[in-house]
Amino acid sequence: QKEVEQNSGPLSVPEGAIASLNCTYSDRGSQSFFWYRQYSGKSPELIMFIYSNGDKEDGRFTAQLNKASQYVSLLIRDSQPSDSATYLCAVNRRNGQNFVFGPGTRLSVLP
């Protein structure tokens, strides 16, 4: 079992819809969780991070964390074609600065 798992996609949604991206992790002691966006040929850029159970909203983005289920998700409301990218889930292992990334989910927003 990989430490951080994501569906590779592609996930296709129509413009204006809600895109839901999911991530599971295996280390129950993980402390912090991150979502990065990576456009093709570019480097990852941080969208959001979340530390506590529940929801965290930032503009059109909402991160959701459920530590009991070892599950973190990212919702993108009013999806735009410019949101088309690969979304990487990253987890900070306990007691350190060793980050584990998932393989990424490719999102395609269709105009």
Partner 1 sequence: GAGVSQSPRYKVAKRGQDVALRCDPISGHVSLFWYQQALGQGPEFLTYFQNEAQLDKSGLPSDRFFAERPEGSVSTLKIQRTQQEDSAVYLCASSPGSNEQFFGPGTRLTVL
99 binds partner 1 (CB under 8 A): yes
From CA 22, how far away is CA 86, in angstroms rounded? 12
Count of residues interacting with partner 1 (CB under 8 A): 22
Residue 72 binds partner 1 (CB under 8 A) = no
In this complex, which beta carbon is closest to partner 1, that of residue 18 or of residue 46? Answer: 46
Give the footprint of partner 1 on residues 5-34 (CB under 8 A): 8, 32, 34
Q: Which stretch binds partner 1 (CB under 8 A): 11-19, 59-67, 76-84, 88-96?
A: 88-96
Whole-angstrom CA distances from 73 to 42, 96, 111 are 23, 23, 24
Q: What is the rounded CA–CA span in Å between residue 17 and residue 31? A: 31
Q: What angle do CA 12, 14, 17 make, to 5 degrees?
A: 105
Instruction: State the residues that interact with partner 1 by CB under 8 A.
Output: 4, 8, 32, 34, 42-46, 49, 88, 90, 92, 96-104
